[in-house]
Chains A and B, each alone.
Chain A
Amino acid sequence: MLAKRIIPCLDVKHGRVVKGTNFSSLKDVSDPVELAAFYSDSGADELVFYDIVASAENRSLFCDVLREVARNVFIPLTVGGGINTLDDFDTVLKCGADKVSVNSGAIKNPDLIGNAAKRYGNQCVVLSMDVKLCDEGYRVYSLGGRVKTDIDAIEWAKFGEESGAGELVINSIDTDGVKNGFDLPLLEKIVNAVNIPVIASGGAGSVEHFKELFKRVNVDAGLGASVFHYKDFTIGQLKRELKSSGVEVRI
C-alpha cells in the first residue's frame, strides 16, 4: 500500500539552511549536506530544497550544494525557489534534482507549468502555492508570500493539474511557522478539487498535527521545516507514532 510521505523542507541561503517564522526573522540552522543525510537516515521520504535568494550568483552556490546532496542521498529531491524559465528547470535538474517546484514563476507565466511538463514529464513539475484566507476567499500569494494576487487558490490548483503539474504543495500562510497544526479546511478544499497528489505544508508543530492531518484529509504527504531542524521530534519517532495510530508509513 502506498505510504504517506514525510518531507523535510530545507530553505537554503548562501549555502546554509535557514527557516523563519511567518517567512521572516531567519535563523541559520545547519549545513544542507549534513542535514540531508541525517534526514534520509532517520526516514525522510523525500527532501525539498528552496533557494530562498535565487540570485544568479547564489544559484551556482545552491547548485553546488544540491550536487553534493545528490551524490550522497538516494531519495527524491525537489528544488524550488526562483524557477521562472525552462532554463531554470534545466539547471537544477542537471545538478541532481528529480522534481522542480514552481510558484511565483508560474503566476507570472502560467504556460511554464505546461511547457515544463511537456519537456520533462508531469512527474517533474510540482506546483507550489502560498495561500491565505482573505475576505473574498482563499487567495494565492506570490514572491514568497509577500504579494497578494487575485487568483483563487482552488481554481489555481485545478489549473495546475490541467496544465500538467504532477503534484501540488499547499503552503498555508496563515499556519506557516506558527506550529499550531496544518490548515485542514484549506487542504480539504484542495484535495476535493484535484486528483493529483497533494503535499501539506505550514503549521506542523507536533506529532499530533501529522496524525490529525493524515486521518482527516486525504493528502499524500506532510512537509515540515523548523519542527525537524530543531529536533522537536525526529522523523523516526514521528513515523513510529503514525504507524501505531494506523497511518501507513515507510519505516
Chain B
Amino acid sequence: MIGFQTLLKKEILRFWKVSFQTVAAPILNAVLYLLIFSHVLERHITVYGEVAYTSFLVPGLVMMSVLQNAFANSSSSLIQSKITGNMVFMLLPPLSYREFYVAYVLAAVARGLLVGAGVWLAALPFVHLPLQEPLWVLTFAVLGGVVLASFGVIAGIWADKFDQLAAFQNFIVMPLTMLSGVFYSIHSLPAFWQGVSHFNPFFFMIDGFRYGFFGQSDVSPWISLAVAVASGLVLAALTLAMLARGYKLRG
C-alpha cells in the first residue's frame, strides 16, 4: 500500500511541480475560449429555451478541461518516463500492475478535476451558472476523468515517440471533444450530425455533466451515465490487460 501511495504522490507532484504549465495554462486557455465565444455569440443564441449561451458554454469548457487534462497527464507522464528511461524506477520495485494503473489514473483525474474547478471558479464572476444537481456534476467529472486517464495510459504505453502521442491528442481526443457539444447543443445540428454525435462518448459525458448544472440536457443523464460507465469499463479492461502482459513495458 505504501508503494501505491508513493507512486500516486509522485505522479501528483510531477504535475504540481510544473503547475504553471499543467494547471494554470489550461485554465487560461479555457477562459480565453469563454471570452471569445461568449463575446461573439452571447446575443445571438439561447439554449434549452432560456439558458444564456455563456452559461451553457461554461460547463462544456469545464468538462473539456477535465477530459483533456486527464488524458494529457497520464499519457505525457508515461511517454516521458519511457523516452528518458526512468520508467525503470517504477518497474523494478514490487508494485503490481493494478497499483500502477490506479495510481496513474487517480493522479490524472486529480489534475483534470483541478483544472476543471479552476475554469469553473474563473468563470463564476462573469456568468450566472446554476448548480441543480451537484452529484451528477461530480459523477460525470470523475467518470470522464477516469475514461480519459485510462485512454491516456493506453496512448502513453503504446506510443514510442512524442509524435505518435500527439497524433492521439490531435486526431482522436481533440476532434471528439470539439464535436461533442462543448460549444453547442446538438439539437441545433441537422438530423444527420445529431445521429453521428450519438456515436461519440464525449458527447454523453459532457451532456450528462451539463445536466447537473441546468437540470436539462440533450439526452437523459442515465443514458449518459451508462455510456460513460461502459466506456470506462472497456478502457480500464483494455489498459489492465496491456499492463498485465507488460506490453511495451516489460519486453
Q: Do A and B come from one complex?
A: no
Give A contacts to B, CB under 8 Å.
none
Give B contacts to A, CB under 8 Å.
none
